[in-house]
Structures are given as C-alpha cells and as structure tokens.
Chains A and B, each alone.
Chain A
C-alpha cells in the first residue's frame, strides 16, 4: 500500500506542477488512523498529508458536483468511484474534458464498525500487507485477513478496477462474481411477503432521518430533496413509520439505474441500517430488463431517462 500512496503523490504533484488541474480530490491523514478524511489539494505543499489505504470510506465522486463545470478537477478514483463519476458525466454534472481521473484498482474498503467490534476504537497504527491487515491497539498487535474486515458491499463488488481512468496506478485486480449480488437479492425475494415486510420495517423504522446516506451519496445532488420540500409535503418528515418507510423507498427508487453499489450510504449510516438490498434489487432489475449497468461508460442514458416501444409489458391489460 505505501508504494501506491507514493505513486499517487507523484502523479498529483505532476498534475499540479504542470497546471493541468485546479484542484485534486483525495484523502488526507487525520489524528486517528481509523478515519482518513476527504481532502482538496491545490498546492504541492499540502501533499504531505495525503493518505490512501483501505480505511478511506467516502465516495469522492460526491464532491464533483460542488464545483462549477469550468473547474479542472483531478480525482483519485477506485472502481465504484469511477463508475459514479461516469454516471455524473452522463447527467451533465461535469464535462469529461475538465476531469482527470487517477484510477486505483481497489482491494475493498475496510469497515470501521467491524474493526471497532473486534479491537475497539483506540487504534494507534494501521498497516496493510497484501492480503493482511495489521492493527496496533493499546500496545497489542492484531492481524486480520482482509476479507474478514471488508465492508459488506465490497465483498459483493463486481468491478474493482477503474473503467475509464486517465492513469491507472497499480496492477488490475480480478473482476468480482456478479452472482454474489444476484444471490443476495434472490434469497430475499424467496422469503414470504410477511418476512420481507418485517425485515423492511425493522430496517427502515430504525432510521433517525439524519440524511447522512443522502449526503454521502454521489448521485444525491439535488439542491432540494423531496423530503425537505414543505409545499407540497411529500412525506412525513419526522420518524413516524410512514415517514421513514417512504424515505427509504423513494431514496432507493431515485437511484434506479444510477446507483453504482459503492455502499457509501451504509457506511455513513449511524444506525447501521442496511440499504443496499433495495438498490441491489433495482440494479438487478435494470440489468435484467434493459441490460444496463450504471457508470460503465459515459454515453448511455439510464433507463428511466429514455424509453422504448418494445419494453416488457406487465402492466398492459
């Protein structure tokens, strides 16, 4: 991992020195090694703080929409972030020519909650060595296999490699198995109606409506969200069952054909609510019905932005 960080630093240094970009979005170190934060590098001097490891939780594509289109942005992208960037380009959120994508094949993001459950929050050192994760907590060294600590959505990851990066740093990794997501969704579909509703009720009604999932999601960039709208008030904005259920259904539905399964929503959730089972289902349907996978290239419009007379016709009576 340190050598990848070196290479990223060199690449960003080159971009800034040659004046190819105005700003580079990456990660920087924080006091606790557990929580690297998104950082915006405009000067070469700031690069000493740069960080890149498995603990970088955010989806950096999220910050793309906060810049005007003429800003030239360099951005460190992993597989899912690259697809999110592509999906944003399709929606005209930033022109491709003003973006420089520094791609890094991703071994998966480590779930902080799993680390805390294993060794507590007092981590003084964090190291990655190939397939192993070495943690120093309160003077003791712990070694874990990487897949034991990976975030659930990264365990199901299909495309860990950047798909359209300008520069790729590191060796490409093997593609994931698309059956993993399919099996999860089909397993849920096989349950009875009551069991599915009980699960949905349990998950959605824990929600405290903090909207961290919305803020973490790169595709949730509307200036006014339907839940903030007061006239008309679309849903109850408190934590009533109807309000939380409506939020979870519509939030997922607005991601149909746009979600890249990065799992940033789940990682941001303070209540540990599972959300990807909804978006995974919608992604699976988009693939089955329209053979569409969000963000694989930056030309095709998502299915709901287009139409076809040959659509499958369940509704037609």
Chain B
C-alpha cells in the first residue's frame, strides 16, 4: 500500500496517565490517524465503530483502562464484550476482525500507546486497504474529507 493506512483511535480520556503520552496523542498524532476521545470505553457504541469503518478507516483501535481500573468501575468490561462480539459479527460477513483492536493501558506503560499504534499500523498495512463493507458518501470533516 502506498498511502499510509487510515486509523481511527478511540481513546478513553482516563487511561493515559502519563503526561507526555497524552500530549503526544493529542498534538503529535500522525495525519493518517484520527483521534476520538470518549469519556469511557463503555461509551463507544458499535455504531461509532461501524461509522468509522464505513467512513473510510482501514483500522479501528480502542484504548481503555485495565479491567479493574475503570474510572466508572465497569464500563470497559461491558465495552469489551460488545466490541468483541461486534468484531466477530463483522468477521462473519467477510470483514477482517484483525482491523479492530482493543488495548488495555496501564499506569506504568510509558510510551506504550506509540508502540501499539505502530504495530497496529504495520498489521493493517499488511492487510491492505479495506475491500469488504461499503463506504459512505464522503462527508466533510473540519473542511477536509476524512
């Protein structure tokens, strides 16, 4: 693939404890990655994920807090159940489920998010651009097409 794969990162606003990582995600994310900050991974509806895919994303990454460390006690657990099953359903109709990845981040993991994103980008680049699942008519996001 010539162009870099487009990745949408859904990030729980509580999971990145370390200041430099948070700064990097907010300010220095590569152009091919799109950040969506959410109050908790439990807030992520499967419609958000499907919208990202149909909007032209090649991969979706969800980063949340460790199972026992959710800010809202249990949001990330129900999120995992739903997103996991949704990925299975998409896989069932012919979309690769490797394109959706869930990552738990911990307090000690300085620089982990960069590593995860690089690895994910490489995995998606190997899979190539999405073939299965139709994309929406492009909508302008902040004046440019996402």
Contacts and interface: CB of A to CB of B under 8 A. Distances in A.
Interface in A199-253: 200-201, 226, 234-236, 240-242, 245-246, 249-250, 252-253
B86 A246 contact: no
B95 A316 contact: no
Contacts, number: 104
A246 B54 contact: yes
A194 B94 CA distance: 6
B68 interface: yes
Contacts of A241: 134
Interface residues of B, number: 38
Given A249-B50, A304-B81, A317-B103, A189 B92 contact: yes
Contacts of A315: 80, 83-84, 87, 101-103
A314 B94 contact: no
Contacts of B13: none
Contacts of A201: 134
Nearest to A277: B92
A311 B136 CA distance: 34
Given A242-B136, A317-B103, A193 B89 contact: no
B137 A249 contact: no
Interface residues of A, number: 41
Contacts of B22: none
A306 B80 CA distance: 11
Contacts of B26: none
B51 to A, nearest CB: 7
A25 B27 CA distance: 60
B92 A314 contact: no
Given A249-B50, A249-B90, A315-B80, A242 B102 contact: no
Interface stretch (A141-149, A157-165, A278-286): A278-286
A193 to B, nearest CB: 5
Given A234-B47, A304-B81, A315-B102, 11 more contacts: A188-B92, A194-B132, A197-B94, A242-B54, A242-B135, A246-B50, A249-B50, A250-B47, A256-B85, A281-B92, A307-B77
10 contacts: A194-B94, A235-B54, A240-B137, A241-B134, A253-B85, A282-B89, A304-B82, A307-B81, A315-B80, A315-B84
Interface of A: 188-189, 193-198, 200-201, 226, 234-236, 240-242, 245-246, 249-250, 252-253, 256, 278, 281-282, 285, 289, 303-304, 306-309, 311, 313-317
10 pairs of A and B residues whose beta carbons are closest in the complex: A197-B94, A315-B102, A241-B134, A307-B77, A200-B93, A196-B94, A197-B132, A242-B134, A242-B136, A193-B94
